[in-house]
Each structure stands twice: as structure tokens, then as C-alpha cells.
A and B are shown apart, each in its own frame.
Chain A
Amino acid sequence: AQSVTQLGSHVSVSEGALVLLRCNYSSSVPPYLFWYVQYPNQGLQLLLKYTSAATLVKGINGFEAEFKKSETSFHLTKPSAHMSDAAEYFCAVSDPGNDMRFGAGTRLTVKP
């Protein structure tokens, strides 16, 4: 069965610093991987997705993620954090014909 582990329920960075949110997955077949962002009082919005094309995936708002099969990881990064990046981030995994499974989420705080 597929599953996702997000390391760190809370991450705090200073404005302008690197953002790194960690995600490891488990899947018995090549997975599809997603990162979603949730701003307060809103639903989840798709940041980026990996569907077996390029291993480095670029998303919206300057975020990107790299699929590393050997490490079963799909970490989310952004070179320079903005105050507007403060939100909760969810990693999700699915495979063909199966439902999406979400991680527990990581709350990102950006300090001025």
C-alpha cells in the first residue's frame, strides 16, 4: 500500500532563507507525487506534480521538488522564502488506478 511520511510537522525559516520540506513515500509501483499548499481558511491548491517525466519538477510561486527514486523522496524546496509562503504543505502519493494518500502536513512559518 502506498503511503507518505512528511518529516517535521513544523518548519520555521527566516525571510529570504532556503525552504526545505521533506517527503518520503512508499509505493510498490512507480508513483505519482504531488505537493499541495493550504492557506488559512482555504482548500488545498496544487503546487506541483511528478508523473514520471523530468525528475526535477518546477511548480508555482518559485517552488520545485526533486524525485529521487533511490531515496524514495520528493522534497520540496524554494531558494528564498517570502512571508506569503507561510502555510501548510501536504505531500501526496498515488499510483495508476489508486487513490491519493496524503502526508500529515508541514506547517511553514516565515519570520521577518
Chain B
Amino acid sequence: EAQVTQNPRYLITVTGKKLTVTCSQNMNHEYMSWYRQDPGLGLRQIYYSMNVEVTDKGDVPEGYKVSRKEKRNFPLILESPSPNQTSLYFCASSLLVGNQPQHFGDGTRLSIL
């Protein structure tokens, strides 16, 4: 089954404790992206990757890191989480960027205390 898998689905942690949210897709997609969803703001892009070893900042990259060492994986790293990063996060992938619809994971709800 074609899917984007995120882990964990839920996480409560404390300020400053490094965390990683994993994302994996099994569709051999070139393009992967991370979004955060906040009420009234829709989805805002954090980082994206056009291909292996190629990553770029989105609209709200501050406080986040990503890596794309393999085509299927695109982890999101919060080196020193802060309460303003409490949000719902989505990983997405598509075959190419632009005219292709994106496939989304089920989301990760992060609470930073």
C-alpha cells in the first residue's frame, strides 16, 4: 500500500530536549516536504527536498533541521524545542514538484512544555 508514515503520532516533551520526527515513503517519490498546521494559518511549509542530499528552507524553517540521506526518508529534527513549536506536523511526498498532488502522512502532534 502506497503510504507516507510518520512517527511518533503524538509526543509531549519539555523545552530544550532534542527530538526527531521520522518520515518514510514507499512510493519512490523525488519530492518530500514538512508542514506545520496551526489553527487559522493552514499549512505552512518548514523544509522541502527535491531529491537525495538536496534540501531547502520553506516559509517557517527557524528552529528546525532536516536531512535527506536516502530517497525514502526525510526526518524532521528539533535540536532545542520551544513551546512555540507546539503544533501538528505533516510530512508529504510527491513524484515531482509542481503539478503532482502530494501524499500526506497522518500527522504528528507535538506538545512542548
Residues of A within 8 A of B (CB): 6, 9, 32, 34, 36, 41-46, 49, 51, 90, 94-100, 102-105
Interface residue tally of chain B, by bracket?
A: 20 to 34
With A94-B99, A96-B98, A99-B48 known to touch, is A44 a contact of B42 (CB < 8 Å)?
no
Contact across chains for A95 and B104 when beta carbons are under 8 A apart: no
Contact, CB under 8 Å: A43 / B104: yes
Q: Verify B97–A94 contact, CB threshold 8 A.
A: yes
- Whole-angstrom distance from the CB of A46 to the nearest CB of chain B? 5
- In the complex, what distance in Å separates the CA atom of A73 from the CA atom of B2? 31
Task: List the 10 closest A-B pairs by CB distance, nearest first.
Answer: A43-B104, A104-B42, A102-B43, A96-B98, A44-B104, A32-B99, A46-B101, A102-B42, A43-B106, A105-B42
Nearest Cβ on chain A to B54's Cβ, whole angstroms:
13
A–B Cβ pairs within 8 angstroms, 29 of them: A6-B42, A32-B98, A32-B99, A36-B104, A41-B106, A42-B106, A43-B106, A43-B107, A44-B43, A44-B90, A44-B92, A44-B104, A49-B101, A51-B99, A90-B43, A94-B97, A94-B99, A96-B99, A97-B97, A98-B97, A99-B97, A100-B102, A102-B35, A102-B42, A102-B43, A102-B44, A104-B40, A104-B42, A105-B42
**Would you call B12 an interface residue if the criterion is a C-beta within 8 Å of the partner chain's C-beta atoms?**
no
Name the A residues within 8 Å of B61 (CB-CB): none
Residues of A within 8 Å of B104, CB to CB, are 36, 43-45
- 16 more A-B contacts (CB under 8 A) besides A41-B106, A49-B101? A32-B98, A34-B101, A42-B106, A43-B4, A43-B104, A44-B43, A46-B101, A94-B97, A97-B97, A98-B97, A99-B33, A99-B45, A102-B42, A102-B44, A104-B40, A104-B42
In angstroms, Cα B102 to Cα A45, docked, is 9
Whether A43 lies near B40 (C-beta < 8 A) is no
Expressed in whole angstroms, the minimum distance between the Cβ of A32 and any Cβ of chain B is: 5
